[in-house]
Structure 1
Amino acid sequence: MKVILLERIGKHGTLGETVKVRDGFARNYLLPQGKALRATKENQARFDRERANLEARNAERKSSAEQIKVGLDQRSFVVVRQAAETGQLYGSVAARDIVDILAAAGETITRSQVNINAPIKNLGVHEIEIVLHADVRATITLNIARSEDEAQRQAKGEDVTAGAREDTFVREVGSVLDDEGMDREEL
């Protein structure tokens, strides 16, 4: 389906371009969200009449996004979650959790603005991209740890799961040796 874009849409095009997109993308996202019009002569004439207003609205959204970026970019947030000794979370940190964390910090972000491919399932420091506008992106850091103390150690670059992995290995080797009837001191 051919549509006239009313704002910049990722890889598809910019304001005023007539582009061909998949029918489902147009019907289910672009048209209901008011981000595009069907490419007809009437809609092209309507777009030409309203172009100045659309450009002004887009510029206003972009400047608003840049103001939000100033307060959000390069901020770090500590997330305390329960996890196994190996660093595997008993759950995950998903986009909705990130939105809640930012809301607690006074930032208003929607789930669709959080650019995360899959939920985070491990302890550690993770970089998350927030798409505030098609042209404006901010990056935040999530420090996911079991406690505040552990988060401080992770921030310094320590691997908080290294000791746990060594302990687990020693226990596993010890249980194998015990099953074989060998004395640990023979090794």
Structure 2
Amino acid sequence: MEVILLERIAKLGQMGETVKVRDGFARNFLLPQGKALRANAANKARFEAERATLEARNLERKSEAQKVADVLGGKSFIVVRSAGETGQLYGSVAARDVADILAAEGFNVGRNQVDLNNPIKAIGLHEVVLHLHSEVSITINLNVARSADEAERQAKGETLTSADAIYGIDEDALRPEDFFDPNADRDEEEEA
């Protein structure tokens, strides 16, 4: 299906371009969201008549997103979650959780603007990309820890999931021979 884009869409095209997309993508996303119109003579004339209004609205949205990006860009947020001794979270931190954390700090960001390919499932420092506008993207840092004290230690660069941090063991001194005997299987075979 051919559509006329009403705004810039990443990996698809600029405002006003006529592009060919799959029917389902157009019917289920572009048309209902108001991001495109079907490409026919009537809609082309309608787009040309409303072009100045659409460009002004797009510029306004971009400037608002840029203001938020200037304040939010590079900030770090602490997320406290329950986790096991190895640093594996009992749950996960998903895009919805990131949006809720930002809302608690006073930033209005929707979960569809959070670019998190996979949920965060381990404690540590994680970078998350936010797409505030089709032309404005920023990165924030999430410090996922078991407590605020742990988050502070993590922010200073301390590793909390290594064997040394958890058990007081020097990982460099560990050798496989310390845990199993490589000759144990041979002894059993010789006895048989």
Displacement of 1:174 in angstroms is 9.0
How well do the aligned residues superpose, as a CA RMSD in angstroms?
Answer: 1.9
Q: Which runs of 5+ in 2 are unaligned?
A: 185-192
In 2, the alpha carbon distance for the partners of 1:28 and 1:165 equals: 52
Deviation at 1:175, TM superposition (A): 9.0
Instruction: Quote the residue 2:73 is aligned against.
Output: 73
Q: Which runs of 5+ in 1 are unaligned?
A: 181-187
**CA shift digits 1:55-108 (9 cap, x unpaired):** 001000100100111111111001111101101000000001001100100001
Partner of residue 49, structure 1: 49
Q: Given that residues 143 and 155 in structure 1 are in contact (C-alpha distance below 8 angstroms), is that contact kept between their aligned partners in structure 2?
A: yes
* TM score, norm. by length of structure 1: 0.88
Matching residue's letter, 2:78: V
Counterparts of 1:69 and 1:86, CA distance in 2 = 35
Partners in 2 of 1:23 and 1:68 — Cα distance? 35
**In the alignment, what sits opposite 2:189?**
none
**Scaled by the length of structure 2, what TM-score is found?**
0.86
Offset of residue 159 of structure 1: 0.7
Q: State the percentage of identical aligned residues.
A: 61
C-alpha deviation, 1:166, in angstroms? 6.6
| Corresponding residue of 1:185 | none
- What is the CA distance between 1:23 and its match in structure 2? 0.7
Q: What's the CA shift for 1:176?
A: 7.1
Distance 2:167 2:26 in 1: 49
* Structure 1 residues 153 and 26, CA gap change in structure 2 (3 angstroms): same
Report 1:10-159 matches (<5 A): 10-159=10-159
